[in-house]
Amino acid sequence: MGRVVVISTGGTIASRWQGSGFAADAHGQEVMATAAVPEGVTVEVVDLFSVNSPRLTTAHQLTLLRTVHEVLADPGVDGIVVTHGTDTLEESAFLVDLHHDDPRPVVFTGAQLPLDAADGDGPDNLHDALLTAATTRGLGVLVAFDGKLHSARGTVKTQTLAADAFGDPSGARIGNIGFGRVSVLRHPRRPAALALPGLPDNLPRVDMVMHHCDADPVLLEAALNAGAQGIVLVATGAGNATPEIVEAVASATSRGVLVALTTRVQAGPITEIYTHGGAVDLVAAGAVPTGTLRAGQARIAVLTALLAATDPREREGVLRHALGEAMSADADPSAELVPA
């Protein structure tokens, strides 16, 4: 069916017992040896790094992004699979998706159980990702997990331990994988791909601050004092905080800091309903609402904007593009039905 390149980055799928807990230490060939390869698929492995995904840095993610583009420069490659730790998979997949302009798929997968587990989920997930990479086109960057196929945009880790670990709480999945085939149910809606970012010597700092009862601007101001060029405000409800937080946001945006507004609620869009510190005031203060994107992917969108431009207005424009604001407002931002 095709030639697939597997980029190995570590995570639970590559983890073994270390005496007190599990950690990634297996190479990509060892991970590949656990999985059945779909008939007709040939596999090549790129060992990029092997780390637990909470340890990933922006530098790791940009290296992965550039490696994906280097692999796809070979027209003989039919697709890519990225094996990745589940803790930050949603962030890396979204970063790659924002810069992916190729009909050939990039499919992220991983595992909830370690490499040597007798009942591990990694082998089946890897098989399904290989099948998806070899047989689908035009779907962007995908997440294959537990027999389900998800678009990178909007997909987050929804379970800490369960095998069915990923989904988009605000939208439907892209398809199902089983019985030797991929059944595509919906096509993702994606903005035009962004150009590959440069690799500055000093990568921009982007911090997250969560609102809660009794919250004040101290943590937001601490992030700014630490040099943050971008802030993701994780608000309550449909994107609400307090007048004090609004003042801090206005101060930050007046200094050219990019502020994105998301919510700690699992599903649903940011909506300008409330004042007295609510989303109405936060947006007026310069915060950019992130729609249904949650904190991790909102941070990636801010990071991408900071890497793409230096002018504050241009950065905000890139952020709004990354958030998909140009896509139809009356359509599901993550997917559309496949024509019958």
Any alpha helices (H) in 114-195, and if so which ranges?
A: 122-135
CA distance 17 to 29: 18
The answer on pLDDT for 83 being more than 60 is: yes
DSSP 312: H
Both tokens of residue 94? 């979204």
Q: Please give the model's pTM, rounded to 2 decimal places.
A: 0.95
What confidence score (pLDDT) does residue 322 get?
98
CA distance 318 to 223: 22
Kindly give the pairing relationship between strand 206-210 and strand 230-235. Answer: parallel
Residue 34 contacts residue 123 (beta carbons within 8 Å):
yes
Q: Work out the number of other CB atoms within 10 angstroms of the CB of residue 180.
A: 10
pLDDT tens-digit series, residues 282-340: 999 999 999 999 999 999 999 999 999 999 999 999 999 999 986 744 344 444 444 32
Kindly give the pairing relationship between strand 175-178 and strand 230-235. Answer: unpaired
pLDDT tens-digit series, residues 153-212: 999 999 999 999 999 999 999 999 999 999 999 999 999 999 999 888 899 999 999 999
Among the listed residues 12, 86, 109, 290, the single catalytic one is 12
Average pLDDT of 217-243?
Answer: 98
What confidence score (pLDDT) does residue 326 get?
67
What confidence score (pLDDT) does residue 338 get?
44
Query: Is there a catalytic annotation at residue 12?
Result: yes
DSSP 151: E
